[in-house]
Amino acid sequence: MAATPSPCDSSASASNKKWNNLRNILERDGPFCKTDFTPSPDILDFLQNTAKILVIGAGGLGCELLKDLAMMGFGDLHVIDMDTIELSNLNRQFLFRRCDIGSPKAECAARFINQRINTCSVTPYFAKIQDFDDLFYTQFHVIVCGLDSIVARRWINSMINSLVTYQEDGNVDPQSVIPLIDGGTEGFKGNVRVILPSLTACVECTLDLFPPQVTYPLCTIASKPRLPEHCVEYVKIIQWDKENPFSCALDGDDPQHISWVYEKALDRANKHNITGVTYRLVQGVVKNIIPAVASTNAAIAAACANEVFKMASNCYECMSNFMNFNDLDGIYTYTYAAEKNEECLVCSNAPQALNVGNPYTTTLDDVIHMLCDSPKYQMKNPGITTIMYGKNKTLHMSSVGSIAERTRANLTMSLYQLGLRDGQQLMVSDATSPRTITMQLKYNLVDVEMN
């Protein structure tokens, strides 16, 4: 008589069958495999027990990414997020429940995955990405981002590029390259990009792909509103503080607050013959909401997870290297190879020229405005230092109060008055990068003599 299988045997058998689809990919050769791919059962073991994957962001994309990666066999996941859970998150961030409101996203997401998928361990970090140094990021095999901030994207892009080392012949050391998979969504649109630091186009190379941030001048909001958003901003910025209807700060998650703003904005819109003020618009303006659709998040996260799997297993060629996705009218995708910018501030590995017209009339303040306003740089609050007569000299740094006050007079001085010569190097620090960027002044005048 055959022996009855024990519960442990059944559990082990079920666990083995769970990964059969992955084994079909990783343990067999195929026409689409990479030429240097060698099928082996050791690859699945690597994914489950050795590979370390960092997920940045535990919001709409992040929740999907953690679920996908855990169910694809990755056993060691880490997630960073600085936000706490709000009521408005629950319609698409499915790892959270109403009882989680107010708790850190990273910790709740990790706890949910750990409880549901016993083959995966998720380590949470309730922190900013800027809180960690290069040693922290070097421990990961692949980094995948689900961010909603351009500044954060630029920062992590600069960080992983700074980790690249070069061999004696000047070529990139492949062992120092940590792939970055970046996903982004807005409404029914999304994109995925694969970045191999210093080898392919990085975030900074294609900075002009990001849409400009929408801001409304206060003078327009207060005196000559033309758009329904102007009316909402007026109530949000001016009228709320003036009337103080609920004796507290405006809370975008409080229906009473939103209703009050909606009624006041509608009144103002009617006075100026403006149409289009809706309750939903008010919610979006008050909370600065980027439209989020769960199905778009799911599609983009799946594409990102697929690229992580290909990178970690080396079984198929990774995407080259930028994919657009649009399901507004049907489903449309398009993939193309974004070109590396040889003058990129981040990945070119060389000081970049900062072209200046006339050093006798161009002030330091003009240079700072150029760094902030130019589509090429788009910095937020740059601090500038240089080397003069063998010593470090701070020209301006507004992020430190005492230094800002001491260097304020430099802002109105011309580059000539400051003693900055053609070809002189400037060290620029900014919130968009974890490292100091070296730039080289290049004057466009033919006959400029700097004594």
Q: Which are the catalytic amino acids?
A: 219
Distance between CA atoms of residues 290 and 297, nearest Å: 13
Cβ contact 26:46 at 8 Å = no
Distance between CA atoms of residues 226 and 219, nearest Å: 12
Cβ contact 253:148 at 8 Å = no
Containing H/E element for 156?
Answer: helix 150-162
Distance between CA atoms of residues 10 and 18, nearest Å: 12
Contacts of 371 (CB under 8 A, 6+ apart): 377, 379, 382, 428, 430
Structural tokens at position 362? 């161009």
Containing H/E element for 78?
Answer: strand 76-81
C-alpha distances out from residue 109 to 55, 137, 186, 196, Å: 11, 21, 22, 28
Distance between CA atoms of residues 53 and 188, nearest Å: 27
E strands, 4-51, in order: none
Nearest to 146 by CA among 290, 300, 288, 327: 300
E strands, 319-382, in order: 322-326, 332-336, 352-356
Exposed / middle / buried, residue 332 (Cβ in 10 Å: 0-12, 13-18, 19+): exposed
Q: DSSP readout, 185-211?
A: EEBTEEEEEEE-TTTS--TGGGGGGSP
